[in-house]
């Protein structure tokens, strides 16, 4: 289990603060000249439905049945609260030149936008020479953007990944998810150089929570999106393993937020992402397998169909679908022939 978690996290956040350059990932909110090579939004994406609360998709009894061996840290109430509270937040990220950024975070309850990051060179003339590139993330779309079946299918996929990341039991039972709060080896610091999100002396940024959030760069960026202040999690990364609401928020943040040149897992599972010519040449196709590529592609993808970790995620997905009364006939679950992204 140690090797599964550590390898996953090395891929998820090894890029540290590089996640902020997610402008060619096919996110439907993207604009600007840098999107010339980006994936296109699906033409047949179903029209958005009235957003549903997580609590309307899944009862506490159902949650408990899906995670019967879970640690008491992970509660249904914390999950619902995390989704509801983070759902009140949206972010708009704008890039100038190659690496000059502005983050605007909006609390939808007040409608008040707040600049939570603006790089020192933002107003330099050289940075303004080319058109800005922008993408937006509405965290309220988590498992709530379309109809009930589509939302539940996305929830099953999300649960599959957090279950695999935190499992600690018998192989192929699929009842042992949400058992680990942090990775086994807490001696590792997971510190990488970052001008935007520098580590705090004495703090460790090892994998914590349902998605095993790791590295100071990802803690800082997650904190910026979740709280509007990068210092909260940089100064106190233990919040992700001591506050269950924060832990689930960190997992939802990862699920919803595009990375360097990848789509978000949310956009894949909702059909908003479609592969461009480069993606097609590399075997990347819509479906659950693509979410594995996003989460841990370099370790688990393009290695054939007998890769244990990949198959464990697939097994969890199919298990949760069945428990929810769903099927995914066109699953495209495997990433065995799908080339991973390079950082």
Across 163-199, b (16+ Cβ under 10 Å) vs e yields bbbbbeeeeeebbbbbbbbbbbeeeeebbbebebbbb
User: What share of the chain in percent tops pLDDT 90?
Assistant: 80
Q: What's the rounded Cα separation, in Å, for the pair 46 and 271? A: 8
Residue 200 lies inside a defined structural domain of this protein: yes
Confidence of residue 6 (pLDDT cuts 50, 70, 90): very low
**Angle separating helix axes 2-13 and 288-300, nearest 10 degrees:** 100
Query: Domain range spanning residue 213?
Result: 8-323
d(CA 73, CA 180): 9
Q: What is the pLDDT of residue 52?
A: 62
Sign of the C-alpha dihedral, residues 77, 265, 199, 184? Answer: positive
- Position 3 in a domain: no
Asked, for residue 2, whether it belongs to a domain, the answer is no
Q: Which residues are catalytic?
A: 165
**CATH number assigned to the domain comprising residue 64:** 1.10.530.10
149, pLDDT greater than 70: yes
pLDDT in tens, 73-100: 999 999 999 999 999 999 999 999 988 9
Least reliable range by pLDDT among 66-70, 170-174, 247-251, 331-335: 170-174
Distances (CA, A) of 127 to 31, 121, 261, 270: 17, 7, 21, 35
Residue 161, domain member (yes or no) = yes
- The answer to the question of residue 194 being in a domain is yes
Closest CA to 276 of 19, 36, 18: 36
Q: Is the pLDDT of residue 33 over 90?
A: no
| Percent of the chain whose pLDDT exceeds 70 | 84
Instruction: Indicate whether 203 belongs to any domain.
Output: yes
Is residue 270 in some structural domain?
yes
- Give Cβ neighbours of residue 188 (< 8 Å, ≥ 6 apart): 6, 204, 206
| pLDDT at 1 (0 to 100) | 31
Q: For the chain, what is the HEC assignment?
A: CHHHHHHHHHHHHCCHHHHHHCCCCCCCCCECHHHCCCCCECCCCCCCCCCCCHHHHCCHHHHHHHCCCCCCCCCHHHHHHHHHHHCCEEEEEEEECCCEEEEEEEECCCCEEEEEEECCCCCCHHHHCCCCEEEEEEHHHCCCCCCHHHHHHHHHHHHHHHHHHHCCCCCCCCCCCCCCCECCCCCCCCCCCCCCCCCCCCCCCCCECCCCECCHHHHHHHHHHHHCCCHHHHHCCCHHHHCHHHHHHHHHHHHHCCCCCCCCHHHHHCCCECCCHHHHHCCCCCCHHHHHHHHHHHHHCCCCCCCHHHHHHHHHHHHHHHHCCCCCCCCCCCCCCCCCCCC
Residue 311 lies in a domain: yes
Q: How many domains does the chain fold into? A: 1
Please tell me the distance from the alpha carbon of residue 275 to that of residue 69, in angstroms, as a whole number. Answer: 38
Q: How far is the first Cα of the chain from the last one, in angstroms, to the nearest whole number?
A: 25
Residues 7/184, Cβ–Cβ less than 8 Å: no
**pLDDT over 90 (residue 163):** yes
177 Cβ partners below 8 Å, 6+ apart?
Answer: 66, 67, 69, 70, 159, 162, 163, 164, 166, 167, 316
Whether pLDDT at 335 is above 70: yes
Angle at 328 between CA 342 and CA 336, to 5 degrees: 30
Residue 259 confidence (pLDDT): 80
């Amino acid at each position: 289990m140690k090797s599964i978690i550590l390898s996953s996290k090395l891929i998820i956040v090894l890029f540290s603060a590089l996640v902020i350059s997610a402008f060619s990932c096919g996110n439907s909110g993207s604009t600007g000249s840098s999107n010339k090579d980006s994936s296109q939004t699906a033409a047949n994406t179903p029209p958005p439905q009235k957003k549903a609360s997580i609590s309307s998709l899944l009862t506490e009894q159902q949650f408990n049945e899906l995670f019967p061996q879970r640690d008491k840290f992970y509660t249904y109430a914390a999950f619902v609260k995390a989704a509801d509270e983070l759902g009140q937040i949206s972010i708009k990220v704008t890039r100038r030149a190659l690496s000059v950024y502005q983050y605007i975070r909006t609390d939808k309850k007040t409608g008040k936008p707040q600049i939570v990051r603006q790089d020192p060179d933002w107003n330099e003339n050289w940075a303004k020479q080319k058109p800005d590139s922008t993408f937006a993330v509405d965290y309220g779309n988590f498992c709530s953007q379309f109809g009930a079946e589509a939302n539940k299918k996305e929830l099953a996929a999300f649960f599959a990944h957090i279950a695999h990341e935190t499992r600690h039991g018998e192989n192929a039972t699929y009842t042992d998810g949400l058992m680990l709060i942090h990775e086994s080896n807490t001696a590792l610091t997971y510190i990488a150089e970052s001008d935007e999100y520098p580590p705090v002396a004495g703090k460790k940024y090892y994998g914590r929570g349902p998605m095993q959030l790791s590295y100071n760069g990802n803690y800082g960026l997650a904190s910026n999106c979740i709280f509007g202040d990068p210092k909260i999690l940089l100064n106190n990364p233990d919040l992700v393993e001591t506050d269950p609401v924060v832990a689930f928020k960190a997992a939802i943040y990862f699920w919803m937020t595009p990375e360097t040149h990848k789509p978000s897992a949310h956009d894949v599972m909702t059909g908003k992402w479609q592969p461009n010519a480069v993606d097609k040449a590399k075997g990347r196709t819509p479906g659950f397998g693509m979410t594995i590529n996003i989460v841990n592609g370099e370790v688990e993808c393009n290695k054939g169909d007998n890769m244990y970790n990949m198959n464990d995620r697939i097994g969890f997905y199919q298990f949760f679908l069945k428990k929810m009364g769903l099927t995914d006939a066109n699953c495209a679950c495997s990433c065995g022939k799908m080339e991973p992204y390079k950082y």
